[in-house]
Structure 1
Amino acid sequence: MSQQQPLISHLLELRNRLLRATASVLIVFLAIVYWAKDIYHYMAVPLLKALPSGGTMIATDVAAPFFAPFKLTLVLAFFIAIPYVLYQIWAFVAPGLYKHEKRLISPLLFSSTILFYLGICFAYYVVFPLVFGFFANASPEGVQVATDINSYLNFVLKLFFAFGLAFEIPIAVVLLCWAGVTSPEDLKAQRPYIIVGAFVVGMLLTPPDVISQTMLAVPMLLLFEGGLFAARFYSKKADKDDEEVEDGEENP
């Protein structure tokens, strides 16, 4: 019975953390849902600018003009609430970490949030204009470009998540090196395979065009190099030494 009590308390705390994270997303959503149509229009600007004269967006489903902005606003609410969602995750796992682990995780949580936002901004301001311009100019003569609003939304959300996650590569490299799974030296030796892997991932996560594939693969490689540089400051041996010092302080 004594072993069940801690488990139940942990499950209750996990439930409370998940409820708070969900509530934060809903609160943000309710705060911005009034501007759902404006938000969707802002998201459609890169495509609208690339369309030829007379090109427009269409809705092939009766409910699409309502649900597409609604869906986009809900996803945007999640993006905005990510710092608080990550804080809830951090608050749940923090009591079980050593001091040196807390010193590592705190900056990583902050960095991962910033990198995710940077990935989304890179996709919107750099990738979208080039990709949509390429698609618009690649259409055969006599073909009028008319993109469905649901198809466009799914397309941009896929790219947002792809670039947002790709920009987390430095965090993944640091965590792998810190956990002792690999080391910066081993990763350097595997660099040729990682270069090939980056372009394969770019091919799988982006539309079938060379521009978007390359614009995802190249930042992934640069971020990988940045992760290698940052991983040098996190040594598994040093962390073990810190852990032994902390254990010695707690048990003199």
Structure 2
Amino acid sequence: MAKVNVPRPAEMPFLDHLEELRWRVLWSLLAVIVCSIGGYLLVQHMRVMQLLIEPIQPFLNGGKLKYLSPTDPFFLTLKLALATGLVLASPIVIYQIWSFLAPALMPSERRVIVPSLYLGVVLFIVGVVMAYELVLPMTLRFTMNFQTDFLEQNIVVGPYMSMVMRLLLGFGIVFELPVVILILSAMGLVTPQFLASKRRHAIVGITALASVLTPGDVITVTVMMMLPLILLYELSIFLSRLVVRRRENLAAAPAD
């Protein structure tokens, strides 16, 4: 049977590529600025900071988090506003990146990558929610009850918020593993056979990553991080098989 030869889109001149890239970057920066202004309003009126402080409230014995400089609350609010703005602007930034790269992709690759972007949003939200609802409270229970006979707590808001944001974003980014594997498989850069052969190496890496992201009890917090990552890796192998099988079926289909 004859193979279907799908022609690549016509190439754009290099200077036109640079001009388009410039406008894509400008629109992305404008989206980040506008969304950061909206993020500032959300932080001020939607109790974003209070929401992030809430998990540690039971360990403060009725007290409040401390700050060391008169400008700390203001700059901390700006940092939260910028982080919120980046999250709000991410769909626009992803759209700009996709619009720039899509003309260079084949239709079969676009049909795989577009749904994977929606999947990535869902997985990111799941990772952040899991970190906030499960991992962060367990981490605080372990760390706040460690060496309490010799040390007295004096929690500063800046380092605490940095720890919380690293944990939430770390889980959200790590949960993007199936999306990355799906896109790499669609582009032919990885195969399910390669992923399956590296399963043991992946488990070792997942264990190390879980130990770094979750500074808590190995039996509870770290294992809770490891299990979803292992399941996500297996899901990545399954999605990669689907992509490769679809590409092989398209290549073996008879020409019209």
Shorter-normalised TM range: 0.7 to 0.9
Q: CA deviation at 1:109?
A: 1.2
Preserved CA contact (<8 Å) 2:139 2:214: no
Matched, 1:229 2:238: yes
> Once superposed, what is the RMSD of the aligned Cα atoms?
2.5
Picking from 99, 114, 119, the partner of 1:91 is 99
Taking structure 1 as reference, are residues 77 and 133 closer, same or farther at Cα in structure 2, changes over 3 Å only?
same
1:35-90 C-alpha deviation (Å, 9 max, x unpaired): 424211111111113x1424431112331111112101210111122122111111
Q: Which has the higher contact order (CA 8 A, sep 6+)?
A: 2
* Rounded Cα–Cα distance in structure 2 between residues aligned with 1:101 and 1:177: 9
Q: CA deviation at 1:197?
A: 1.2
Q: Residue 47 of structure 1 corresponds to which residue in structure 2?
A: 56
Runs of 4+ in 1 over 6 A off after TM superposition: 243-246
Picking from 182, 185, 198, the partner of 1:190 is 198
Q: Residue 33 of structure 1 corresponds to which residue in structure 2?
A: 40
Preserved CA contact (<8 Å) 2:109 2:187: no
* Rounded Cα–Cα distance in structure 1 between residues aligned with 2:96 and 2:221: 34
* Structure 1 or 2: more helix by fraction: 1
Q: Residue 172 of structure 2 corresponds to which residue in structure 1?
A: 164
* Rounded Cα–Cα distance in structure 1 between residues aligned with 2:41 and 2:190: 48
Matched, 1:17 2:30: no
For the residue of structure 2 that corresponds to 1:218, the secondary structure is: helix
Structure 2 gap ranges (5+): 1-11
Q: Residue 118 of structure 2 corresponds to which residue in structure 1?
A: 110
Picking from 122, 127, 130, the partner of 1:119 is 127
* Rounded Cα–Cα distance in structure 2 between residues aligned with 1:146 and 1:199: 31
1:98-129 C-alpha deviation (Å, 9 max, x unpaired): 11111011011111122112211111111111
**TM (normalized to structure 1)?**
0.85
Q: Residue 185 of structure 2 corresponds to which residue in structure 1?
A: 177
Taking structure 1 as reference, are residues 222 and 243 closer, same or farther at Cα in structure 2, changes over 3 Å only?
same
Comparing 35-44 with 9-18, which one deviates more in the overlay? 35-44
1:18-41 C-alpha deviation (Å, 9 max, x unpaired): 121221222122123134242111
**TM (normalized to structure 2)?**
0.84
Q: CA deviation at 1:130?
A: 1.2
Q: CA deviation at 1:145?
A: 2.2
Q: Residue 219 of structure 1 corresponds to which residue in structure 2?
A: 228
* Rounded Cα–Cα distance in structure 1 between residues aligned with 2:183 and 2:78: 36
* Rounded Cα–Cα distance in structure 1 between residues aligned with 2:70 and 2:217: 31
Preserved CA contact (<8 Å) 1:55 1:144: no
Q: CA deviation at 1:8?
A: 1.6
Preserved CA contact (<8 Å) 2:139 2:216: no
Percent sequence identity over aligned pairs? 29
